Amino acid sequence: MKKQKQTAKSSFFKKIFIKICRMCGYEIIDQSNFYVPTQEKSLNDNLNIQGVKSINLPLGETKVSRKVNSLTVIFRSCTNVNMLTQNKKRLFNQNKSEYTFRSLNSIIISLNQAKISFPKIEFNIIIIDHNSKKEDLDQIKKQLNKSNFENSIISLNVDEFNKNIKKINAKNENVTENQISNMANIHKSLLIAENQCNDLIYFVEDDYLHKQDALNEMILAYERISSQINKELILCPADYPFLYTKIEPTNIFLGSNKHWRRIDETLCTFFTSKIMLKKHWDKFVSMCQFEHYPFEQPLHDIYKLEYCLSPIPSLAIHCTNINSIFGLSPNVDWMKIWEENKSY
C-alpha cells in the first residue's frame, strides 16, 4: 500500500512538472521510452512547432525568428508543348498533359497536407496557363475543385510581354515562339508575385512530381535555416543528377527531415520570399526579356550572392528525358510517386 501511495505521489508531481515545463516552453525527453511528454509525442515524430521553434535531436532547439505567414504556389502550365527546347521523349513516355495533371495533383496533395499541419499559414495556388486545350483546362479546374485552399486560373496573354522580349538570344540565334511564351509566362508569374503575394512564393513548372511531404519540409526548412543564418533563402525542390557530377565544396544544413546543401544552379522551379524577389527584381526580370545561355543565368548570378539550397534526398522529380542532368533524382522510388498521382 505504501509503495502504491509513493508511486501515485511521484506520478502527480511528474504531471505538475511536465505542465510547468510546457508553460515555460521547455521540452522534456524521456530517453528510456523514446518519448517527449511535454508534446505527448515519440522522438520519431515531428517535434517542430511551426513559427515558434525547430527541434532536431541531438542538436536541440532552434528558435524561429523567421516565421512563415503565407505561401502562394504559382504553377505555370502549357499542355500543348511537349518539350520546350528538345525533341526527346520524356520519362514515362506520356502526352504532356499527363505530366501537367499528375504534377498538379502532387502539389494539391502536398498543399492539403501542409494546410492541415500549419493552420496558421495562408495557402493558395495560382495557375498561369498558356494555350492549353479546353478539355485540359476543364481537367485542371476539376482537380482544383478538390482542393481545400483558395485557387485561380489565369490565361496568359503573350502580347502583353512580346514587345519587351529581345528576339535574338545570347547565341545570336532567333528566339523561338515556344521560348517567347515561356519568358512571358515567367514574367507574368513574377508580376503576380509582386502584386498579390505577401510572404513565400513557390514558382513551379508543370512537369515536377512532388512527394506528399514536400511543402511541409520546405516550409519548416525555410524557417529553421533562415532563422539560423538570418537571411532569406531560395529553395529548389529537386536533387538534380548534375550535382553529383561536380566535385566542389558546399554547405550542409539540417531541415526538418532532410539535409539541404548549398547549390549554384537550378532551373526555373524554385521557392523563395517576396523579400528576395524585391531585392533582386531586375535580375529576375532580365530572364524574361533576354534569352541568356544558359537560360537561367540570371538566377545563377543571384545564387552567388544568396543561399540557394536543395534537399538530399529529393522532394520532387523533374519529368524530363531520362538522360538529362536535370532529370531523375538519385536513390528515390519515382515510379511509386508517378503511380501515386495517377488518380487525379
Task: Find out whether 184 and 156 touch, Cβ atoms under 8 Å.
Answer: yes
pLDDT in tens, 205-254: 999 999 999 999 999 999 999 999 999 999 999 999 999 998 889 999 99
Residue 112 has pLDDT above 80, yes or no: yes
Q: What is the pLDDT averaged over residues 131-156?
A: 95
**Phi (first) and psi of residue 203, to 5 degrees:** -85, 120
* CA triple 21-27-29, angle to 5 deg: 120
pTM of the predicted structure, to 2 decimals: 0.89
The percent of residues in the chain predicted with pLDDT above 90, rounded, is 72
**Which of the two residues, 48 and 14, has the higher pLDDT score?**
48
Residue 24 has pLDDT above 60, yes or no: no
Q: What is the pLDDT averaged over residues 3-27?
A: 53
Q: What is the pLDDT averaged over residues 64-84?
A: 91
Using CA atoms, how far residue 227 sits from 53, 65, 224, 252, in Å, is 10, 5, 5, 15
Mean pLDDT of the chain: 89
Look up residue 296 and give its three cell numbers: 537561367
Residue 11 — very low, low, confident or very high, per pLDDT cuts 50/70/90?
low
Q: What is the pLDDT averaged over residues 186-207?
A: 97
The CATH superfamily assigned to 70-340 is Spore Coat Polysaccharide Biosynthesis Protein SpsA; Chain A (3.90.550.10)
User: Which of 52-61, 126-135, 141-150 is predicted with the least confidence, judged by mean pLDDT?
Assistant: 52-61
User: Which of 51-60, 97-106, 288-297 is predicted with the least confidence, judged by mean pLDDT?
Assistant: 51-60
Residue 28 has pLDDT above 60, yes or no: no
- Domain ranges across the chain: 1-43, 70-340
pLDDT in tens, 303-337: 999 999 999 999 999 999 888 888 889 999 989 99
List the one residue out of 55, 53, 73, 51 whose CA is nearest residue 63.
Answer: 53
